[in-house]
Each structure stands twice: as structure tokens, then as C-alpha cells.
Structure 1
Amino acid sequence: MGSGHELAATALDTLPITVAIIDDEGKILLTNRSWREFATAEDDEHVGANYLAAAVTADDEYAEQAVAGIEAVLAGDRDSFSMEYPCHSPDEKRWFLMRVTRFSHNGQRLASLVHLEITERKLAELAAEEHAQQLREERQTVEHVLERVDGLVREVTDAAVSAETRAEIEREVCQRLAATDPYVLAWIGRVDVTNRRLSPHEWASDDDVPLEDDELVLGADDAHPAVQAFERGDTQVIEDVTAHDDADRLWPTGAGDHFQSVAALPLTYGDVTYGVLVVFAAEPDAFDERELLVLESLSGTIATAMNALEVRRMLTTEAVVSVEVAIEDPSLFVTALSETFDATVSYRGPTEDDDGTPLVVLHVDRVLEDVAVETAGIGHDVTPLSTTDDGTLLEAAITDGIVTALSEHGGVIRELAAADGIADLAVDFPDGRSARSAYDFLERRYDQVELLSYHERDEPAQTPHDVTARLESSLTDRQLQALRKAYYANYFEWPRDISGEELAESMDISRSTFHQHLRAAQRKVLAELLE
């Protein structure tokens, strides 16, 4: 080919790509240095060898594709052909781009074969595709989670809002949760404040997952997560019950066979906790941050719905919550007076003096000779109203606020009596929330408070609160004061414990003025009852 051929061959040797020239039969006419070096390393063909014949013998889909493309170019069916193919060694993975281009020289049909290594680009493409696939899978996972969460939130919210009773809320919520993967059991527990126990009230499970058998004791060491959630007021999670030290004690039926993670959430609205929601999952680490946010939102929705039902019930119910407690604290005013007089002191009812100072009417079950002397130093302004064979009637300015505080919680005192250092208190509340809030106040305020009973009882549709509200709006302050003093001092009993003159003196008015106020008040009370 002369000097031109030598120049072309020399130029090809400088290229960092493998190049070969073949004739229309596939025989190699010319190669560059990169081709020869690669061919030596791969024990491949040199000048004079038939490239197509060698490729045909290779049992490889890429070789078949290459032969078909080269033959099409040499036959004139196409001007060029290119393909990418792998050429991996035991030590590394490599990819190449082959490009075949037809040309003529001295009337002979020839083709150039160029092999360019594209390993870096291919690895980058594979990495990008792998990342894209990962993103697609993550997006699908997120979409699935969002779809599940959206459905769960919608169903639980609908169940909570549309329920007519608290038990219905609890039952529907548990069923919705237990039917949602990966949850297998859900229960809602209530607290019995009388015996300090927390126990499941409504529950639902998937695949017969067993429920805890025993009541859970409040205040116990190493307590169940439900107890911890109730007492601490925040979410408690066990990520893997099989690795938990107390799993066999908390779930003796074999927790790991049925569920592997647990979350307990308090159902709290304002300062009232209605119970605890406990959710079990079939797999460990099911309650990640995202899952807990959803459950905490749901627990808030459940508590809000329970509060709405309680408020509605409070407005329409014909029942009240009755609470009876025993208080041991020398600072309680009836207890202090009982210790001072060495007698039983009973609360009759509230009243007030001319300037609005709260007063209470009290009965002492013995005759007091000198009230001023016997009450000196106890911190209460006590005034005798009357004395009978049954004891002494007193009027005292209260300072510790138990009567006012219970009233602010919606409570009506049915009984408050102290003897031997113990005060027995019975109060009616319009709803459970008020009762629990008042009980918390008593526990914070006094040394020892023992809950004796907590139950609902029937009450007429028109409560004393309704009548009192209407009467207080129609009675003057003096009329109401005269009526209260007369009633709590047993003026309407026979024989009377106190005279009208004594009551008038306690109000610092004349006897005739007292009776004028009392008759006016009685007329309005009778009008309320009879008209």
C-alpha cells in the first residue's frame, strides 16, 4: 500500500482505541497497537485471521449480534453498525462499544472495526439505574404507606366521630387497627380508680392473637408499657419483645409467637386521661417515628371524640358520678375543728356574709360551752348560731377552699363529716371527667386520700343545679342568705334547732326583717316548684 498505508498505520497506532480493518470476507487486513495489545492479552486474532469466522464459533448472543451487524454492513445493507457488549475478566467487569463502518479502497469493499472501552460510563449508568430503581421502590413503599395511613386515619376518625357511646369508639377503633398491617392486636384499657387497676375494655385481634389475661396494677415496678403510658402520660414502645427481659412475665402465653413489637399511647384530652391504646405488630421495629406520629395523632382524635361524647352526655344525662373518699389531713377545716372540740363535726352547707365572704354551716355533736375559747388558735373565724340537746350549730369562715374547689369542678357535696382525725367526703359530679379532675386535686392537696367508692347513680332529669341556677337569678342576696341559713341550721325542722331571732342576729338584722326575707324566698321557691 506504500507510504500512505504506513502513515495511516502509524497514525492508528497513536489512537487509544482498538481499530482493525477487514475485507468483505471478514479477514483482518490491518490492526493498530491497541488492538494487538488487547488481542494478545485476550489470545485473540491478528492480521490474516478471519474475524467473522472466529466470532461465529463463539457461543454468545453478543457475538451473534456482532456477526449479523458486520455482515449487513459488508453486504451494503447498511452503512454502519454499533453495539455495546460486556467483556468481563475474572478480576474486573468491562464493557465496550463496537462500531462498524463501511468504506471502499481501490475498488475493494472494506470495513473498519472500532472497539471503545465504556466501562466507566456503563458503571455510572448502572449505578444511576440502580439508584432510580431504589427511588422507585422507595416511592412505591411511601405511596403504599401513605395509602395505608390515609385509609387508617380516615377509618379511625370516622369510627370515633360517628360512634354513639365510648364503648363503641373503643370497639370500632380496635377493629380498624387490628385489620391493618402490620398490626395484629389492639386493645383500649380503662382504669378502675377504686382498686388502681388498668385492664382491657375493648379489643380486636388478627389470627387469634391472645389478649393479656390479668389486670395491670398501677404503680408496679417494671410495669407493662400500658401502665407506664398511663402514669407517665407519653408513648411507650417495646421494639422487640423477644429481646425484652420481662417478656415472659408480661406475656406468659409466648409473645414472640404472636407479635414482636408493642406501642402503648395514653388517650389524653386536656388534663384528663381516658385510658390507654395498646397496639401490637407482627414484626420487630414496626413503630418507627413516622408510624408513631400517625398513632399519636389517632390517639388524640380518639380522646377528643371521647371528650365530645362525655360533654354531650353531661348535657343530656339523667345520672351523676358519685365519689366517696376518706381524707386524713389535720389541715382540713372540719378535721381541725373535730380535733379541737373532740367531737364529730358535720358540714351542713355553704352561705356567705354581707360582704360576700364564703361561710359554711357546721354541726358539732356536743354542746360547746364557750366557742370563742375552744376555737382560739385554730385559724378559723367561728361563730355559734344555736345550741340544742343534739349539739351546737356553728357558722365558720372557710380558708382552705375545699368547698369552693369542689364547686369549681362541678361537685355538689352530699356529706362531709370528720371524727377521730378522718374526714368522710361524698360528692356528686356531672361527669367522669369532673370527678377525676377533682380527685386529682384532693390527692395533691391533702396528705392521705383513700378512694372508697366511684360509681354512677340515677338522678332526675331536672337536677338541683338547674333549680338553683333559676332561683339564684330571682332571689336577692339577702333572701338567698336567709333561706340558706334557715335550711342548713334546721330552722324548718320541728322542734327547731334554732330560732328566727338567733338567725336574724347572725345576719345582724332585726327579727322582722329576717322573716320578711325568708317569706319572700319561700314564695319564690314554691313558685318554682308549683308553677
Structure 2
Amino acid sequence: MSLPPASYDRLRRATRTHREELVVRLAGEAGLRPVEQARLRPEDVLEHEGTQLVAVHSESTAAAREAGESPAPARETVLPDGVAHDLRQYAASNGIADDEPLFSVSPRRLAMLIREVSDRVDGVDATAPDLRDFFAADLLDDGVPPHIVAEAGGWERLDSLAPLLPEADRDALVQAVEERSQGSNGVSGLARPVLAVARELPHTLYDAEDRDEVAATVCDRLADAEAVRFAWLAERTDETVTLRHVAGVPERTVRDHLDDNREAMEDVAAEGSARELPGPDGAIVVAHVPGGDADGALLAVGTSKSVDDAATDAVAAVAGQTAHALAAVQRKRLLLSDSAVELEFRCPAAASTLADLSTALDCRIELSGIVPVDGDALLFYAAVEGADAEPVLTRVAATDAVDDARLLEGYDDGAAIELVLTATPVRPLVEHGGRVRSLAASDGVTTLTAELPGDADVRAAVDAVTDAHPSVGLTAKRQVDRPVETDAGFRERLGDRLSERQTTVLRAAYHAGYFEWPRDTTAEELADSVGVSAPTLHNHLRNAEGKLLTAFFEDPPARD
């Protein structure tokens, strides 16, 4: 989704200098990247039949110009009259000659200027790419054909505009791809059936319930098309590629091909592009599917036919439609559930006190609870299996990361212990709003699973862990759903656990002021009121309170 017009207006008003405003407007109203703005000269502003244009230079044409040549620009785009006026005024007031750079700073600094302006506006988080998306979305909303917008903004592939198109305009993107293909060498043997699939996909995907259904529908439809041998969709998380669906070829074949072409796949994702690659018994076209839970996805189509630009554009168009469908089911899911990101870490003994303990005493330790306390310390409650209490306490007492330790309960070949830990990979996760779901240590390795809220900065949390503990590695990252639970739902879930007598005693104690301080009623008076003995009352209260606290602190509502 692009920046709303009202947010762009607020961004402009937040600029404090002529340079800041000009940089923002060149990105948001002319679609210029920071690197293109850094090459801009006053002489690049042209006029054609009363319309202001700006010549945009690439790295090669800019170098040729520096060498004294007069190369044609990489592209020309319309420059709003107001922006052209501000540009000339800025150049004149700063004594910048026509053949001198308009800005004497690096592209990185220009990008930072936009971020600095954005930081001044509450509720607006805008970068240079966001402003370019705003530029494109504005043109698309005005009915400018996608291929014209792509040329104006310097997007090499039409699929780059797919996330900006409203639902009703998906056909326009497909049509633009087809028209451009016919305008060159015609629609290839692969492009035509893929475009036929693309025309039907919006209707087919309309009722998709989840990401798996989207992946299966896209891949199955493609694999059934003429000239297509197989199709697959894989999601990317950091450096991990996870197959979501495979159609028309054994999954093992796809995994082997991914392993053999990992670098090329990463290039496709990094560039946000589509390209032909050698495949098993033919060629494949791999396209980046933007968005998603992490780093987007990859869509691949295998064929024995020849692949040309038309075929590549067609697969890219389907990738754009897939991105729309995945975003739609994501929005639907967010309406019906509370989304979270589950992270799994592998912590060796060098970074984990519990892992060190497990290998030193040949035991297993499992966490039962964590409580943040003053300063940087965390209170760990853990169960030890396979080691007696005395050597456990002796070992942890000699560890620098442990401020304090005590025995809660000792039993045959095990113990329940309480530790106050300072240096632990858990701490950065807690500081970033994380919640530990499980932690177990054995054979010198601790496996830590934690959840972060869906809107948390996951990369920052992971970096905080690995920066503080370089030997810790992220082994898995998953999007999970936690069904939204209402107050009534919580009461119903708790009510199912409490016996009728426990509910009666707990309710009577609450209304009689037993939990107030000082108490409005004594245990003996309350016991007499509900018709039980005082010891029985205490037993019911303790059991009911335990179930209440368990439901509050530990048990989330069940996931589907």
C-alpha cells in the first residue's frame, strides 16, 4: 500500500529547508531515486510543448557526461511545474551553475534526509522507495497505463507496480504485459498460456482462505497450463527458503535444484526481478513475489519451450497477482486473529548457562517460567532431570552469569531451581517485547523458542540477540496465529476448568471482600456462609486460584 496523499502533504509540511522540500518532491512527484537526484543538474530540466520534463541519467550516461560527452539520458519524465520552479529557484539562490550537480551530497545522505523529515511526522514512516511508490500510485489512480508509469519511474519490470494496483486493475497489468509482448516479437509459446492463467487468477483466488490455498491454486493452475511442466512457490525467511507448494514435479527435485542454484535465487529476490534459469530437463522462469511475512517469496514455472522476455513478463505478472492474494489473506487473518512471529534459536554452551550445565552434569534442563526483575536480571524457574540438586547448585554458583540460585525442591535424580541470570540470550528478546514459549537444554545446546508480537521489529530483536551472543544462531522463523480472545471467552475457558464448588467458593470470597486488605470477612465466616469447613474452604480457594493463575500466565487460547 502506498503513502496516503494526506500523509504526503504532512511530510512536505514537515520539511525545514528548501533542499529538504525539493528532495521530497523530486521523489514523490517525479519518481526520482536518491542516486538519480545526486546526478541531477539544473540543465536537465527541459520543456516540451509547454510541459516541463527532467532528464534522468543512469550511472553510465552520467559517467559519459562527466567525460565531456553528450549522451542521451536513461529516461525523461514529467516534472510538475511547481517542482520545476522550486528546482530553478534553489539552484539560483545557491549559485549552482547549469552544468553543476544540484546537490553536493551523496545518494545515501539524500535518502537520510527523507527519513529525517519522516521522523518528524507522527504516524508517517516514509522512505525514498515509499515516495516513489506514491508517485506511481498517483499516476495509476489517474488512469495512466502501467507500462507508461514503469517507463516514467524507471521500473524495469511491470510486476514492480503490482502491489500498487487496486484489485480491479490486475487485468490492466496483464493486458499491458501482453500488449508490450505483441509489440515486440509476439507472445511466445510459454507466455500465452501463462497469461491465460493470469486472466483467471483474480477470480479464482478471490475466496482463498489462507496462504497455503493461494500457493496451491497458483501452482496447480500454472502446472495444468499448456507448455508448463511444473510450478512451485517458496517463501523466504532470512537465508532460508521453504517450499509452500509444488505441482507437476517431485518435491525432492525442486529442493535439489534450489540447492544447486541458491545464489541465482537470492539474486532474483534481491533485485525483485524475474529471470530465466536452467532447470531440470528444460528451463524455468523464477520471479520474486514481493511482500509476505519476511523476505517475500519465489514463484517458478518450468517449461520445455523457449523463454523470451514476453514469457518472463508473464510469469512476473502472475507473481504480482500472487502477492496481491497473499496480502489479502494476510489482511483477513489479521482481522480474525492476533498475529505473532515465532523465533527459534540454537544457543551453545558458550552463550547459555543452562547449556553449559547440561553438558557438565550430563542432564536436561527445562524452563518452567521467567520473571523480569530489577536491572538486567531475569528470574528463571527450571526443572533439572538427570542430576542431583547439590552439584547443580554448586556448578551454577560458580558461573559469572548467575547472580543467585536457590533450591525449590529436590527429588530423585533431579531438582526444581530458581536462578537469577544476567547474561542470557533471553534478555534481548524480552526487551523487544518477546515471550519465551519454551527453553530446553541438553547435550550442551539450549533450544530457545520465543514469540514476538506481529508488529514488532523482528530483525532488530534477532540482531540484538546475535550481537550480544555471536555464537547464538536463528534456526527457524514462523508466522503464527493466536486467536483473539474476548473477556467472555477467557471466563468461559476458565469456567470449564473450575469445579462447581470451586466457582462457588471463589465467587463468594470475591463478593464478601475476602481478598481486600484488611479483609471484610474471615475464612471462618466465609466457610460458614458456603457451608463447608475452614480447611475445605482453603483447599477450594487454593485450587481455584492456581487454575486462575495458570490460565492467566501460561495458557493461551488454542490455535486452530
TM over 0.5: no
Q: More strand by proportion, 1 or 2?
A: 1
TM-score under structure 2 normalisation? Answer: 0.40
- Greater relative contact order: 1 or 2 (C-alpha under 8 angstroms, separation 6 or more)? 2
Task: Give the number of the structure whose alpha-carbon radius of gyration is greater.
Answer: 1
Q: More helix by proportion, 1 or 2?
A: 2
